[in-house]
Structure 1
Amino acid sequence: MEIKLRQETEQDHKSVFQVIQKAFENEEYSDHKEQFLVERLRKSNTFIPELSIVAEVDNKIVGHILLTKLEIENDIDTYESLALAPVSVLPEFQGKGVGSKLILYSHEVAKELGYKSIILLGHEKYYPRFGYELTNKYGIEMPFDVPAENCMVAVLAKNGLSGVRGKVIYPDAFFE
Structure 2
Amino acid sequence: MEKVILRNEMPSDYRVVEEMTREAFWNNHVPGCDEHYLIHMMRNCHSFIKELDFVAEIDGKVVGNIVYAKSKIMGDKSKYHDVITFGSVSVLPEYQGKGIGAMLI
Give the total of aligned pairs.
Answer: 103
Scaled by the length of structure 2, what TM-score is found?
A: 0.90
Find the counterpart in structure 2 of residue 80 from structure 1. 82
1:30 positional shift: 7.3
Find the counterpart in structure 2 of residue 8 from structure 1. 9
1:2/1:28 CA distance change after superposition, 3 Å: same
Moved >6 Å (runs of 4+) = none
Letter in 1 for 2:57: E
Deviations 1:105-133 (A, max 9, x none): xxxxxxxxxxxxxxxxxxxxxxxxxxxxx
Deviations 1:36-72 (A, max 9, x none): 1111111111111111110000011000011111101
Equivalent pair of 1:24/1:30 in contact (CA under 8 Å): no
Find the counterpart in structure 2 of residue 94 from structure 1. 96
Q: Percent identity?
A: 37
The 5 A counterparts of 1:39-118 are 39-74=40-75, 75-103=77-105
- State the SS of the aligned residue for 1:86: strand
* Greater relative contact order (Cα < 8 A, sep 6+): 2
List gaps (5 residues or longer) in structure 1: 104-176
List gaps (5 residues or longer) in structure 2: none
Equivalent pair of 2:26/2:32 in contact (CA under 8 Å): no
- State the SS of the aligned residue for 2:63: strand
Letter in 2 for 1:40: M
Deviations 1:74-101 (A, max 9, x none): 4352211122210000011111111111
Scaled by the length of structure 1, what TM-score is found?
A: 0.55
